[in-house]
Amino acid sequence: MPRRNDLHSILVIGSGPIVIGQACEFDYSGTQACRVLRAEGYRVILANSNPATIMTDPDFADRTYIEPLTVEVLAAIIERERPDAVLPTLGGQTALNLAMALHGRGLVGVPGTPELIGANAEAIATAEDREKFKEAMIEIGLKVPKSGIAHSMKEACLLYTSPSPRD
């Protein structure tokens, strides 16, 4: 991807504390992203609640906030730092949820606010919703396993025994 000259500062949302099955891979990818973004000349602002990560090393960001990862804290950081963009895709589910909450409040990803980069709100919403994701895959011609959403055992039995129109 070519360097974007319309962006000067980027807020990277970290993954927070390490949870079993999540976070250590995001610390590594986030650290690499911060390193590359700074090397490309961007001002990097990092928000992460875990001071034990490599990502929070002072050499990886121009400004580091070791604060709870909440919508309120991120809103205050955005107000103070005025980043051009927010990069949530390197912070795992925690960062994606926060990005969507910030978007829902009109604080990112809408005109006059920092742009969501890496994935916009529509892409995140599509990836999070199983039905929307399935439809997106079908739309681009990928095969998907037979699946459906059931809200009761009866509905599940019907899904299991009914032929799918896309089989």
Of residues 56, 51, 60, 61, the one with CA closest to residue 83: 61
What is this structure's pTM? Answer: 0.84
Residue ranges of domains in the chain, CATH in brackets = 9-127 (3.40.50.20)
Condensed to tens digits (0 to 9), the pLDDT of residues 140-153 reads 999 998 888 888 99
State the pLDDT confidence band at 158, using cuts at 50, 70 and 90.
confident
- DSSP letter at 54? G
Instruction: Determine contact, residues 103/94, Cβ cutoff 8 Å.
Output: no
pLDDT of residue 16: 83
Of residues 21 and 110, more confidently modeled: 110
Condensed to tens digits (0 to 9), the pLDDT of residues 17-63 reads 766 655 567 777 888 999 999 999 999 999 999 887 777 788 899 99
Note the Cα 140 to chain centre separation in Å. Answer: 23
Instruction: Determine contact, residues 45/61, Cβ cutoff 8 Å.
Output: yes
